[in-house]
Chain A
């Protein structure tokens, strides 16, 4: 195996196509324990698909995906339902458009899954949920409804909801892209705090280059469904080796 022994999430030769259109081809990548990795690249490069495959929201046509060494996908085929559920429990995901449950209060958004999936007692789930809301700065919103929150608040609730399941790998899919500019900061602050205070592994797709530069241990530049180049942010942003990386960075910087 070419991978590091302590990879928590590993993609090997993964191929993803929609009919004729190739989204990922020969995609290799490993996320190490506790590592914070930013996936960057032009739209359509397959970044979000990587996260969605790990969360089993998309199927693949070829390759392996492993979580803590166990196969979630093997040779393009999914693991059985029991294994999938067990492995998925390691992962938490936050979406660009939040996807809060609009018919449940903020508190219920956080307690539903722990109660139903992990059989946590109602009182314990609520205590844990209130603690998480406190952590994302929304302790006073426990009884609010999602529709009463601003975009930034919704996204912080969505982060807390994912954390309530105590995953050890967090996937962030362009979590600030749908926000008004003045709300981007509050969500990034939550991510920074998470990065500092936990040893969770984090894989994030982002267009916030400054944030990626400061936050990530490693930055992966993708284009055309493959990894073009990766490395520590300083190296990738300041001395990109590949021409495609240089072009991309030039374009996003001049904007």
Chain B
């Protein structure tokens, strides 16, 4: 089989359009993971033991089961309980939930790295618990975690092809269907792979840049 450039140019627009869906799933999923992960991390440090225990339980459960099963579960089982969401929204929720359990660990490490004295100073100034978290602890905890969060963003990006399993028309699904129509899989699959490669490399480079900049600021 020889690479066919005409065919390449013909299928490229469809795949690039599907890249938009991939990007959407990645960004929305990661936004969810970033927020939810912070929720898990703070809940796990709560003085209310039941809350801390539930958060720990959920995080361990989600981390110990494959993303693909979670996707299938949300897509095929939830409708039985009257919750029917579009494939893309389901995919975003699954990605967000799954990765929130990893970002939670990142945040936790960041929070634990804030010196005890910062909590004490906040208390000595009579700051409320809420203000202590939002104005003192989290701003210091999150900045050093940005490179780690960036790495998870890239990992999530590379996990988006799993969404093909629940019929989301992201890049892989589009490449597969395009190939099936003409019985030529070489070009669409190669293009898809190259797009993932280029974007991941660019993103990794950005994260490394972020890391060194942070290192200099310290």
A binding-site residues for B, Cβ under 8 Å: 55-57, 85, 88-89, 91-93, 95, 97, 99-103, 112-113, 116-117, 161-162, 165
Contacts and interface: CB of A to CB of B under 8 A. Distances in A.
28 contacts: A55-B120, A55-B123, A55-B124, A88-B123, A88-B126, A89-B126, A95-B120, A95-B121, A99-B115, A99-B118, A99-B121, A102-B140, A103-B139, A103-B140, A103-B143, A112-B125, A113-B127, A116-B127, A116-B128, A117-B125, A117-B126, A117-B127, A117-B128, A161-B125, A162-B124, A162-B125, A165-B125, A165-B126
Nearest to A101: B136
A99 B143 CA distance: 18
A57 B115 CA distance: 14
A103 B136 CA distance: 8
Contacts of A57: 120, 123-124
Contacts of B131: 116-117
Given A88-B126, A101-B121, A112 B140 contact: no
A101 B140 CA distance: 9
Nearest to B143: A103
A113 B135 CA distance: 10
Contacts of B115: 99
A97 B143 CA distance: 23
B117 interface: yes
B124 A92 contact: yes
B118 A85 contact: no
A81 to B, nearest CB: 9
Contacts of B135: 112, 116
A112 B132 CA distance: 11
Interface string B99-122: 000000000000000010110110
Interface residues of B, number: 17
Contacts of A113: 125-127
Contacts of B117: 95, 97, 99
A180 B158 CA distance: 52
A36 B135 CA distance: 33
Contacts of A95: 117, 120-121, 124
A113 B124 CA distance: 10
Nearest to A89: B126
A93 B140 contact: no
Contact of B124 (A93, A100, A116): A93
Given A95-B121, A112-B125, 5 more contacts: A88-B126, A91-B124, A99-B117, A99-B121, A101-B136
A88 B124 CA distance: 8
B114 to A, nearest CB: 10
Contacts of A92: 124
A99 B124 CA distance: 11
Contacts of B136: 101
The list of the 5 closest CB pairs from A to B, nearest first, reads A99-B117, A113-B125, A99-B121, A93-B124, A116-B131
A17 B127 CA distance: 27
Contacts of A56: 123
A112 B121 CA distance: 12
Contact of B126 (A85, A101, A102, A161): A85
A56 to B, nearest CB: 7
B179 to A, nearest CB: 51
B41 to A, nearest CB: 18
